[in-house]
Amino acid sequence: MTTGRDRKNSIKALFGEALTPAPETKSMPAADVSPAAGQAHQAPSGQTETNAAPARSASGAVKAMGLSLSSIAREAEEARQLRQALEEGERVISLDTARVDASFISDRLSQGEVNDPQFIELVESMRESGQQVPILVRPHPDDEGRYQVAYGHRRMRAAQSLGIEVKALVRALSDDELVLAQGKENAERRNLSFIERAVFAQTLVTRGFDRKLIGDALSVQKSELSRLIQVAEGIPEHIVRAIGPAPKAGRDRWMKLVELYARPAGNEKAQDEIKVAAFKEAETDRRFEQLFARLARNTGAHKPEPDQLLAPGGRVFAAYKRQGRAVKIDFAKDVEQAFIDALSAHVSEAYAAHLKAKETGK
């Protein structure tokens, strides 16, 4: 009987149906567990399979076709975790999000509605179907009556965005246990980008956590943990946060960026680049590439470094370099001649106005 119910809950999780069993479900007869059980027993024997099953199967098949393999695996793992928690006697409760604080360790560089498409999808899913899987919280260690999230931060923020209570499992956790739970969820649900894991690791090091615990939380070997920390230490955090999660930039690219940043004038170039409007307006992977290109550009000791002129959207339409009093501008091949002519005329007019103002000033 238990095996059949477990299998049903797994199927519900995989096909997007609400998964909200209560502990007392264990004592229910098998016939009551099935949502369609009553209908099946009341229907004539020849119609039981033909009336109820096809519609549900067709609906489930359509939903299943829209799920990626990673989503299916994630939903199955969530169903397993929830069943385990319920079997251990834990109950799902609803909490006012105003009483729940984030973990003391930040692990995301994305900004929800701003640059996290998956978060937007989660909000819409919860708007339509409700919260399928509870978050895990612990009683707040410092503020009585409040709670602290161990995992489920994105579901928590989605509930806040929708103005609804959040479903949660409450469990007494030490700081070490919270870190392990948070890292484990990130590994099983949606892998953090390389730089997000690097920042997470460095934050834990700064707080004095044991490196073995950090490696276990991130599911990485000692050598990989060292590389994560090396990158996080190699670039100031405010520059990393200006770039964002950059999911397409892997370990090798980030390590190369650290190398470029360490070169002479690397910090000055980086500080200047993150202030550029085109950088701020670009999406996170594009921001990484722009900073990488800026730091890698003309690193020779005696070569003047050209600056780029960007069109709206970040496209480079010209580059200019200054050497003494000489200034050279190179336009991109697709820049129209009419624009270059108009610019030349404008420069002539501007210079004439400058000379006149200078003469008037005398």
pLDDT at residue 359 greater than cutoff 70 = yes
Question: Left, alpha or beta for 163 (phi > 0: left; psi -120 to 50: alpha)?
Answer: left
pLDDT tens digits along 93-136: 899 999 999 887 765 555 544 556 677 888 888 999 899 889 88
For 91-190, CATH number out of 3.40.1000.10, 3.90.1150.10, 3.40.640.10, 3.90.1530.10 equals 3.90.1530.10
pLDDT at residue 83 greater than cutoff 80 = no
Q: Which residues contact 319 (CB under 8 A, 6 or more apart)?
A: 306, 307, 308, 309, 329, 330
pLDDT tens digits along 178-235: 888 877 766 555 567 889 888 888 888 888 888 888 888 888 888 999 999 999 999 9
The answer to whether 177 and 167 have CB atoms below 8 angstroms apart is: no
Q: Name residue 96's amino acid.
A: D
Nearest residue to 273 (alpha-carbon basis) of 303, 232, 305, 250: 305
The answer to whether 78 and 133 have CB atoms below 8 angstroms apart is: yes
What single string gives the DSSP state of each residue in 68-103?
Answer: -HHHHHHHHHHHHHHHHHHHTT--EEEE-GGGEE--
3-state SS, residue 5: helix
pLDDT at residue 254 greater than cutoff 70 = yes
Q: Match 């149906």 to its residue by tokens.
A: 17
Q: Match 């819409």 to its residue by tokens.
A: 124
**pLDDT of the residue at 42:** 39
Q: What is the mean pLDDT of the chain?
A: 74
The answer to whether 321 and 328 have CB atoms below 8 angstroms apart is: yes
Domain boundaries, the chain: 1-88, 91-190, 200-296
**pLDDT of the residue at 352:** 85
As a whole number of angstroms, the distance between CA 178 and CA 253 comes to 31
| Selected residue with higher pLDDT from 346 and 85 | 346
What single string gives the DSSP state of each residue in 294-345?
Answer: HHHTT--SSSPPPEEEE-TTS-EEEEEEEETTEEEEEE-TTS-HHHHHHHHH
The answer to whether 318 and 329 have CB atoms below 8 angstroms apart is: yes
Q: Which of 17-31, 77-91, 98-112 has the lowest mean pLDDT?
A: 17-31
The answer to whether 205 and 124 have CB atoms below 8 angstroms apart is: no
| Selected residue with higher pLDDT from 243 and 16 | 243
**pLDDT of the residue at 88:** 52
pLDDT at residue 159 greater than cutoff 60 = yes
Alpha helices (H) along the chain:
2-14, 30-33, 37-42, 48-51, 53-65, 69-87, 117-129, 153-162, 175-188, 194-206, 211-218, 222-234, 237-243, 251-261, 266-273, 277-281, 284-296, 337-361
Q: Which of 30-34, 231-235, 349-353 has the lowest mean pLDDT?
A: 30-34
3-state SS, residue 191: coil
**pLDDT of the residue at 95:** 92
